[in-house]
Chain A
């Protein structure tokens, strides 16, 4: 186990703009840290810098208290699970898993014992003599994880390890990874663009965008109190609804907004808001309610998506042509395409964003 400390870390290729810029981050001993963000945001590059597969352009990386900037990958005490599994095709599963120990000069018996233990944890003991091409995607992923476990690393690095699996297997592997983390208690860093994986696996999540860390925090903290519009929009499915509005009045206990024309919305507030004029109201789909027409904002039902346990209703807000998504329990609401309804946001859970997209604290 190890604590990781990233200080002013930067990565730049030649004279191009930095891929990672002045990143500061502490990853605690035994923590499950998730790096999440859209493609090209720099999360995988950061993981590769930690693994030693990419040079660090500037800044310091400490693993277990030791400066690791120039330490070769094999000596950093990290093990990495790749998206493509990266199993050696000419070796059996057992040989794949024991390769690192063999290179480290361990005896055949030690290697066999370590491989056997890891195989037992992952329930792949019966596959040890097979070659990777004779395995299914899920089995290959287990072998790749097993290869990492065998090394007893201080830090596990997972680079989008579930992306190549089908939906049901992904859920199963997600649960198993979570259990594995509890069982091993080792520091784990997990890169994904899938916000469900991020929310369910991470002790903390770091959201990346264009080489910057937008926010760092516990999954629910990020979900409920996003630091900015990017984080708010990235986490949650369907994504948070953003409605342009005007801040009309603000006191120390409440603020009044004008939403989509003449609609008035009063939000409770315990702060004095400095912002004025055009701002953005953010409301998650599950925090919007259907009410009688005269009691809420007017909206027309555009489309219904049936998910089985829930329904996503897409509406068009009158006066703004703004598409809005609401998540409702399945059935019973009787809505159909073209209906005019009233919409009322849960005022206590709404979020306001300033002109630059930064969240405005209300509570």
Chain B
């Protein structure tokens, strides 16, 4: 379709463009500041283009945070484990809610959804008490297990499976000799990869950026995840903005790569079932 160059179209375009610039600016400054010294960063006007102090900033970061690479590994471990478990359990629950008829199904589903209404902070104290009781404090499983299945994921999977998989497929598999888990594993899972892409990305980002969870669970600096480790820098004398920016840039890179790889699937997954194929 040929673009219309009328004033209304141009002003709409300008608003969208302005919004995009405002949203991208923090990212831009994070990458730019990662390559400048603290003196340059605090100068007026601040630097707008890349400098050459990235390695100095990284050296400073690693000096202040000797476990930074370990913290990065911990972030990866927690985020990947949470994502894998979420995909598995949410798809299992979503499959059951979408495809099976059982007593009190609607009430159970409403119960699952109602957990979305509770602010995450409300669960903080009980969670710490439970983890202390289990002896899991300061261990990554205290972050992974409670986040292994979320209401949003169950809801998303139920919607996707209900709209994307005809019941006849499951019946055909049942006649072919598939057990119930076999149907899930061999038929349902391969057909819900777009939803896996979407939920996986959302869960990974959530787990990667989680700050409050590690803050109350992790005590040793060695066990910190990246957001918590970087935050710890700002409480010790002069704030090393260049080092924090360098650390943040390193921490955000995996997310950017993941987003670029899965963005098409993310959009597919979010719009799935919106229109009849």
Residues of chain A whose beta carbon lies under 8 Å from any beta carbon of chain B? 51-53, 72-74, 78-80, 82-84, 86-90, 99-100, 103-104, 147, 151
Contact = CB atoms under 8 A, between A and B. Distances in A.
Contact of A86 (B166, B177, B178, B182): B166
A82 B171 contact: yes
Given A89-B191, A103-B182, A80 B169 contact: no
B191 A74 contact: no
A166 to B, nearest CB: 21
Contacts of A103: 176-178, 182
B168 A86 contact: yes
A88 B175 contact: no
B169 A100 contact: no
Contacts of A79: 175
With most chain A CB atoms within 10 A of its CB, the pick from B166, B168, B182, B187 is: B168
B169 A88 contact: yes
Nearest to A78: B175
Interface string B93-112: 00000000000000000000
Interface of B: 166, 168-169, 171-178, 182, 187, 190-191
Given A73-B171, A147-B172, 11 more contacts: A51-B171, A74-B174, A74-B175, A82-B168, A82-B171, A84-B168, A88-B172, A90-B190, A99-B173, A99-B176, A103-B176
Nearest to B175: A73
B171 A86 contact: yes
Given A90-B190, A103-B182, A82 B172 contact: yes
A100 B168 CA distance: 15
A100 B186 CA distance: 12
Contacts of A80: 171-172, 175
A310 to B, nearest CB: 38
5 contacts: A53-B175, A99-B173, A100-B175, A100-B176, A147-B172
Contacts of B174: 52-53, 72-74
B166 A84 contact: yes
Contacts of A84: 166, 168
Nearest to A53: B171
Given A73-B175, A78-B175, A103-B182, A86 B190 contact: no
Contacts of B176: 74, 99-100, 103, 147, 151
Nearest to B172: A86
